Amino acid sequence: MTNTFVNADDIRARFSAAMSEMYRAEVPQYSELLALVADVNRRTSEANPDRRDAAAEESARLAVERHGAIRVGTPQELATLRRIFAVMGMQPVGYYDLSVAGVPVHSTAFRPTEFSALQKNPFRVFTSLLRLELIDDASLREEARRILADRNIFTPRALALVDRFESQGGLTEAEASEFVSEVLETFRWHSHATVSADTYKKLHDAHRLIADVVCFKSTHINHLTPRTLDIDAAQQEMLRRGLQAKDVIEGPPTRKHPILLRQTSFKALEESVHFLNETSAGTHTARFGEIEQRGMALTKKGRALYDELLAKTRASQAGGTQAGGNYADRLAAAFEAFPDDLPTIHAQGLAYFQYRIADEAALARERAWDLDGWVQKGIVEATPITYEDFLPVSAAGIFQSNLGGTTQKTYSASSSKASFEADLQSEVLDELSLYQSTQDASVSRLRERFTAAN
């Protein structure tokens, strides 16, 4: 009797709310971010009462929208997370190699894939797997492997409920609520490290992130990110409230029609940690706060243009860094080459869209299919599809600013999607195909209406 099972979208919504509540209690600054973003969003909506872009359409999901990030240490942990997220209707989408940016991990994002599921609750979790093979020192590598092999980051009951979901095809109400609270345990912060201060230091010296992944008994959520309608306003507000915002907003510049993703964050907290056999506490920094603004999903062509313009901006600065007060100006100048009006973006095939008939009568008078023309003439309204994924250069920038320090080590290891997928025990979905099918479905509906009217 499948109708006795709780819908995956519901379980995801409840889990996302439970995570948010837990993180609020753990990191008070996150509560402040939520309040700040709600404020900015309300002001932005009031100032633009008749805006009709994707963000306006999504105002319902905005209040609950957030992404989180976790880092795990073993293939087993990654594959189990895949099974857990599947219970909440979240699939691995995209492959991100961060070793090129000096971070010894590779990642995917677990998220809903259907347009309707995204509209209900788009909760996503950026999930990174530590690449132990990138630890140079063989004995330290072995020690890390041993510590990780000894831990179990999931509660026995969470594992039993995943088995149950897989064998019976869903969870009942009672099972679903138990599942949410059991899985939450995996993401909880633990102020007691599982290692000595000495081991922590060795791992930390190899890379701070290695210590973060290896030295604790589970995989604490390291940030939760609400979505704002105006990240420039949110950034100013962060500074006004004395939150330590990073200097530069990651991603594209301010635009009339936002593309992809812009992100900012505040610095990770220095938290007190107890090490094994140690009477006085030490510290660990890992958890931070982040805000993002989402724009339209770009096609392969649009994305290539974005990557080119971003690379050009970064290359125009010695060392390819963002340092220097005029970064925002150089970024804006480079992006003048990226059209900022919808008909042109549409005609050049730079982004993905969904369509709605704006003028039925005019469409009925049209004889031949001419989508670009109809969009130009306003017969059909094209609404950009929201970008639901992440940006590796931005992610690296966020990692970097939160790990502190300026030393930028790079790893020469090659990108390794195949080994990531082997560890995940699944392929990762291609994000562009997902946007393409949402757009295709919309074109098909339009075609049916056009045919019926003619």
Site of interaction with ligand OOG (CB under 6 A):
69, 71, 126, 128, 222, 263, 290, 390, 394-395, 398-399
Partner from Ni ion, ligand OOG, none contacting 41, C-beta within 5 to 8 A by type: none
Phi-psi region of 158 (alpha: psi -120 to 50; beta: other; left: phi over 0): alpha
In whole angstroms, how close is the CB of 423 to ligand OOG at the nearest point? 17
- Residue number with CB closer to ligand OOG (128 or 442): 128
Distance between CA atoms of residues 252 and 266, nearest Å: 19
Report in angstroms how near the CB of residue 82 gets to ligand OOG at its nearest. Answer: 17
- Binding site partner of 16, from Ni ion, ligand OOG, none, Cβ cut-off 5-8 A by kind: none
Token code pair at residue 171: 């969870």
Contacted by 390, from Ni ion, ligand OOG, none: CB < 5 to 8 Å by type: ligand OOG
Whether the Cβ atoms of residue 387 and residue 298 lie closer than 8 Å to each other: yes
List binders of Ni ion among 267-306 (CB under 5 A).
290
Minimum CB separation of residue 128 from ligand OOG in Å reads: 5
* Least distance from ligand OOG to the Cβ atom of residue 175, Å: 30
Residue with the CB atom nearest ligand OOG in the bound state:
395
Kindly report the backbone phi and psi dihedral angles of residue 8, in degrees, each rounded to the nearest multiple of 5, phi listed first.
Answer: -60, -35
Asked whether 96 and 108 are in contact (CB, 8 A), the reply is yes
Q: For Ni ion, which is the closer residue by CB, 331 or 396? A: 396
- In the complex, the smallest distance separating the C-beta of residue 278 from ligand OOG, rounded to whole angstroms, is 26
Binding positions for Ni ion, 388-417, rule CB under 5 A: none
Among 443, 257, 428, 227, residue whose Cα is nearest residue 350: 257
The contact pattern for Ni ion, residues 61-100, with x = CB under 5 A and - = no contact, is --------x-------------------------------
Nearer to Ni ion, 19 or 203 (CB): 19
Q: For residues 133 and 375, give the distance between their C-alpha atoms in angstroms, rounded to a whole number.
A: 52
Give DSSP secondary structure letters for 101-121.
GT--EEEEEEE--SHHHHHH-
| Minimum distance of Ni ion from residue 225's CB (angstroms) | 5
Nearer to ligand OOG, 252 or 339 (CB): 252
- In single-letter form, the type of residue at position 112 comes to P
**Torsion sign across C-alpha atoms 29, 34, 35, 41:** positive
Of 113 and 293, which CB lies nearer to ligand OOG in the complex structure?
293
Rank residues 81 and 363 by Cβ distance to ligand OOG and give the closer one: 81
Per DSSP, the residues of 122-186 read --EEEEEEE-GGG---HHHHHHHHHHHHT---S-HHHHHHHHHHHHHSS--HHHHHHHHHHHHGG
Q: Cβ of residue 161: shortest distance to ligand OOG, in angstroms?
A: 26
Instruction: Find out whether 270 and 330 touch, Cβ atoms under 8 Å.
Output: no
